[in-house]
Structure 1
């Protein structure tokens, strides 16, 4: 989730609805300026007892962040607490229960993405060894109850933690117990954005299946392969889902702005503090009728904040966010951007990907979204076999898209090698969660603590 800093002096009041599409219009870039931004979260645990460390205990999350400053990261504070770091590789931030996230810098190619990921993991490992801390690349805590997890000192999280139980049964699980990998991608025009958005939404269940990596809850199999993905089905229906309107004629920037105006607010940031506006209407804010700030009109920074508070399978801000994958180890961190860049950053590949999914009805898309967390690659696709069959076709397209980009590393290799781990998953038909379950029922003999041997 986003980390808010002080507002810029150049922060105009919103006086016209036309201003609401400016972030999306401002995101348009020619293909030579398209970049790749990769975000990945990891679970932090004490190596001695597997406990999740609190923020302020000795060797806890605050000390981890402070320790990272030796690598050139600059601290970001809120209320006197270091809650994030800024640096050349983007930002390191905290999720609500201390999950550590790298929001990577916008990079030109996947070779740079993997190098960035490698640097980050080397840094957190070094600091972790100093404090007796390790990291799990999973989509969800395999053994922790909500009550066993700490809460980080970030104002927006306090608001969300109060609000989540009002709107769904699993919002607190989403905040406290899950981890994801995401990739942020650019678009050239409104039409290009629309096509990428539609392909991204339609194929998000495939990403969920390929990266499914959360089969345990509180020490036992939970009946799902991506329980993290299932959690979103009852987190907050007003800000999640597959967004049928994206596939309707006329979808574009304005329709997205209209949707966001109907997403209830969480907060307003003023004078370094978060004001609780949970459940209130941004439309009322535009009319000067927000009850917590009567008479005040929103600024553009408020709209940017609000754009970060919807959580559908694909999200639009000034770029597109692909949001369907569970957290995982290094190879899969590199594989997710490879998958989406291969499909979306070459026109021939994008056209082929759209041809692959354009015939699906909204009911079929929703059914696939519901089935993927439990069945992964075995989820049925009417008239097309299973998601595994779709995966073969999609990966073939992605390979072609990456090859056509022709982005080579120093050894002369293109970017297609980053798809190898996904090729193996589709070839075997076995997703990461199924391999973990095999270990649990076999070699581990039901001992969930053995999962900590799989850490980064």
Structure 2
């Protein structure tokens, strides 16, 4: 989401202008970067409840992280995040609706830099949180929190989304309050490169969901799922989520995506640091001046950039590609997610091999996995076997892609795939590991997961 001071106030003159805005994200390969984002739940050491915004909670933590390298992000009078400047330019720290603490990492050249950034952030956040009596645990779905007990963070746009999401699905509020993800943002060269990378990554997103499943609990007990986070996303808002068929089309491109976005319902527009509720109306109507709530406001490129961030497809197309299918997990798994997608998409030979693999199967074979993997993860049936068979093939391609980057990366990055290789060869997902511990050594004491998963 753009901060108000960053918004492009250029008036929109045509659909092509907006398609060109997305196309401007294309970069030569030498400029491709890796941006890793992750969310984590806070928990108080005394009772494992979520820390409040204030007093002595999330706001204090943000204040404690303040330095010349971080600028405050304020919504009305509330401190809601930090924006990196100088050596941290491109990074930010923000709050999800239920207080989930998010690092949006800077665009970095290598996975080694990604790991160093993650390690530094986790150490800093954990040390500051400990002084306040709480810690952090990255898990895909909150294991104990009741929806009605969640404290909403003081971000104005969340009030609009909260109201509207109750009209579009049964689990939108669960998504906002009780889920955590890890994602990686990657670049493309041009429209053709974007199309190819999008097809591969969207098709394989259910496999990523299976590999990274880490949420078998809900409200203090097992609920029969391995990725409750992914299950939640199956009923949030069909107008903006999932694996849209048009994204697999051979003629898919920036203009076609723009046309789809113009008809996707909006949430809000920002003016003077405040949000105007236009939820449910299309951006096309906004451009045409047909929104009563937005009378007197001309649609701008900044408005469109904000609108793009409210598309929640499993891979989101912006001026880069966002991989959105994974549960938050251990730091090693967070880096493994970035390694997985970098290995598949950033080497020409690996991308060609991945594209050929995906094209062996109909698109429907991949989309059919989406509602299944939250329940069975790596055991989900696939082509006469299970997803472990597909995982081994895909991981072999990713490893080759990472090994081909050795000179660029200043060393081999393929070891970051090791946690995934263990799972593909029959090891447990994090969800299965947590489930086993809950049923054996924890004796059903669910709160033990917080300290076991703590960063």
TM-score, length-scaled by structure 2: 0.96
- Distance in 1, matches of 2:73 and 2:2, equals 9
Report whether the alignment pairs 1:74 with 2:88. Answer: no
- Distance in 2, matches of 1:363 and 1:354, equals 16
- Distance in 2, matches of 1:56 and 1:415, equals 41
- Distance in 2, matches of 1:67 and 1:174, equals 28
- Distance in 2, matches of 1:363 and 1:427, equals 26
Residues 408 and 414 of structure 1 are in contact (CA less than 8 Å); yes or no, is this contact kept in structure 2?
Answer: no
- Distance in 2, matches of 1:335 and 1:206, equals 14
Aligned-residue offset at 1:239: 0.4
Q: Can you give the 5+ residue segments of structure 1 that lack an aligned partner in the other structure?
A: none
- Report SS of the residue matched to 1:108: coil
Residues 378 and 387 of structure 1 are in contact (CA less than 8 Å); yes or no, is this contact kept in structure 2?
Answer: yes
- Distance in 1, matches of 2:386 and 2:298, equals 50
Aligned-residue offset at 1:19: 1.0
Aligned-residue offset at 1:241: 0.7
- Report SS of the residue matched to 2:4: coil
Deviates more, 1:291-300 or 1:94-103: 291-300
Structure 1 segments, 4+ long, off by >6 Å, are none
Correspondence list, 1:86-101, <5 A: 86-87=83-84, 88-89=87-88, 90-101=91-102
Aligned-residue offset at 1:296: 3.3
- Distance in 1, matches of 2:420 and 2:21, equals 34
- Report SS of the residue matched to 2:295: coil
- Distance in 2, matches of 1:389 and 1:86, equals 42
- Report SS of the residue matched to 1:167: coil
- Report SS of the residue matched to 2:214: coil
- Distance in 1, matches of 2:363 and 2:394, equals 19
Map of 1:85 onto structure 2: 82
Aligned-residue offset at 1:408: 6.9
Aligned-residue offset at 1:280: 0.8
- Distance in 2, matches of 1:382 and 1:160, equals 39
Map of 1:118 onto structure 2: 119
- Report SS of the residue matched to 1:43: strand
Map of 1:206 onto structure 2: 207
TM-score, length-scaled by structure 1: 0.96
- Distance in 2, matches of 1:199 and 1:107, equals 22
- Distance in 2, matches of 1:199 and 1:176, equals 30
- Distance in 1, matches of 2:337 and 2:363, equals 25
Residues 109 and 407 of structure 1 are in contact (CA less than 8 Å); yes or no, is this contact kept in structure 2?
Answer: no
Aligned-residue offset at 1:429: 3.9
Map of 2:22 onto structure 1: 24
Aligned-residue offset at 1:106: 0.4
Residues 226 and 433 of structure 1 are in contact (CA less than 8 Å); yes or no, is this contact kept in structure 2?
Answer: yes
Map of 1:220 onto structure 2: 221
Correspondence list, 1:19-168, <5 A: 19-57=17-55, 59-70=56-67, 72-87=69-84, 88-89=87-88, 90-168=91-169
- Distance in 2, matches of 1:156 and 1:448, equals 33
Map of 2:364 onto structure 1: 363
- Distance in 2, matches of 1:4 and 1:301, equals 10
- Distance in 1, matches of 2:211 and 2:407, equals 24
Aligned-residue offset at 1:3: 5.6
- Report SS of the residue matched to 2:293: coil
Encode CA deviations 1:118-149: one digit per residue, 9 max, x unaligned: 11001101101110110011001001101121
Correspondence list, 1:38-437, <5 A: 38-57=36-55, 59-70=56-67, 72-87=69-84, 88-89=87-88, 90-383=91-384, 385-407=385-407, 413-437=411-435
Encode CA deviations 1:12-35: one digit per residue, 9 max, x unaligned: 100111111122211110100000
Encode CA deviations 1:238-290: one digit per residue, 9 max, x unaligned: 00011111112311111111111121000010111011111011111111111
Residues 86 and 92 of structure 1 are in contact (CA less than 8 Å); yes or no, is this contact kept in structure 2?
Answer: yes
Give the count of matched residue pairs.
450
Residues 38 and 182 of structure 1 are in contact (CA less than 8 Å); yes or no, is this contact kept in structure 2?
Answer: yes
Residues 138 and 213 of structure 1 are in contact (CA less than 8 Å); yes or no, is this contact kept in structure 2?
Answer: yes
Aligned-residue offset at 1:295: 5.0
- Distance in 2, matches of 1:7 and 1:430, equals 44
Encode CA deviations 1:299-341: one digit per residue, 9 max, x unaligned: 1100000000010100001000000000011101111000000
Deviates more, 1:165-174 or 1:64-73: 64-73
Q: Pairwise CA RMSD of aligned residues?
A: 1.4
Residues 408 and 415 of structure 1 are in contact (CA less than 8 Å); yes or no, is this contact kept in structure 2?
Answer: no
Residues 45 and 53 of structure 1 are in contact (CA less than 8 Å); yes or no, is this contact kept in structure 2?
Answer: yes
- Report SS of the residue matched to 1:166: coil
- Distance in 2, matches of 1:172 and 1:107, equals 33
CA 1:407–1:211: 2 relative to 1, 3 Å: farther
Q: Can you give the 5+ residue segments of structure 2 that lack an aligned partner in the other structure?
A: none
